[in-house]
Structure 1
């Protein structure tokens, strides 16, 4: 019989992280196109679909409306049509990170991250900074040149979406989680792109013991350079929440301060994740719904917010409308992992977390 985690409470939280990440990703996937699916456009769509407040996966309009064109994968990730998760890079990297730690342990090198990409990840399933880094690896460049040569995406969200595994495997140890996330992130990112990954990993690690989402978010800031734009943006969301601003007011302020940045940039997406966690107030459904309704890179931000919220509440407390359609099955482009059991991925992750 395969080894099982010794700590059932830890397993429940790790499974909550995996399930929350996949559910949040699936929720945001139909409306992932920040230039078209703005916060206002998402709101108008949900009103049109009679889906506000958002308490389940995004419904498809029948008949479709060309003014509200969903992503091509909509038939696999909208309400009533989900049968297991769609394949998505936001989940591929969590799987790849798990395999990395199982293969090389916590002393892995950035070079080993790159080798694993080339071995197990198809080139055309990488995007923006990861695709540039992949090309640089093929051309013989080594880290950290892989992150800087010909790469205009160095501070986008790609490294942040790879960070969860380092939080899940270091429960209550955000310092170590951030350090591991940095070692992974520098393969493809610099500056705020790296800091976002460190912050996300630290928030997730802190979420295992934090008393509130705010406490987890604040703990994550302790391991990122304090003067960077990412920290300033997250702290602005914390301040607005403390002053009793509404979620809409906070997102309007985020637009004002960092709206100049691309919709896949790490900084505004970290702000949206923070707002979802704070105004979600620990409720899983509200957290991922607000995060996705915030717009920008909806599937990525929804995945990270779902991961944090899932760790905090545990898998058993995630409402079944989010997990039942997944059928304990995840699609993946990572060679050898397509159709994996979500529970088995969580089991393996919890074993690493137990040491």
Structure 2
């Protein structure tokens, strides 16, 4: 009681001192209530900490009051009837490569830059040709090598722009958000379910819809060549339409990976080239331009050098247009010595002392 009286006296005194400038008097009964609330809160925290310290750890076997032996787990809800575990709670962080590709203005600027370059190439380099039949395809002809690329003239074939789909014209935001939350690597079964059900969780890559619409207005056919499954063609077509990138027709302006087909795209490109003269290619992986870049014998540095040291180098930005993708793909490989050869290593002089 003496503590309560002291607190009440102090608060009452403070109220009189403040009464000349603001009406801040605290009733004596309220002072006692505040003190009791603080004590109750402190006692509750102390009891909670004690219970937490005494709680059995996950994996420990304990005996319940009714004599049953059980093992403690980290589950906070029961599994589904099929035995699957509930989805993990959303992660508090996003992987930096996803922050860059799906969240940054820098990646959006690179995408706009690529599509602006594509449109300018079509409008100027191809559009101003007096004899369109003499235009050159930018798809490597059969028998080409990176050191000796061969290209055919268009002749009477209609001109086409051939593009990859994923992270080239469509961003798979829903799938990658799920991956960021769950962690782990690529899951083929999960990706298949995404193709079937994720139509509304995709957006067009910045700049893609505008560039493709402009190209169509100038008479270029837009063709998509993707490793998505041919079995999910209706959903892929719907996703392209919803994002303002369509239309697309399977087997004509949409080419997908058939059951059992390899992931390389050269065979499909060759079939497209039989119908169209491919005057521009766009993608986010080197395989979107030629399977030769993914030859097994090419090491990390040799593959990197192949895009600039061969006769195909002049095609970048002049028929071949690369979109950024640091999230997945054939470019994400290489150990320390492959990415950073010993000859280019640096050691801080301060650490040599």
TM-score (norm. length: structure 1): 0.30
Larger Rg: 2
**Between Structure 1 and Structure 2, which shows a larger proportion of helix residues?**
1
**Between Structure 1 and Structure 2, which shows a larger proportion of strand residues?**
2
Bigger relative contact order, structure 1 or 2 (CA pairs below 8 A, ≥6 apart): 1
TM-score (norm. length: structure 2): 0.30
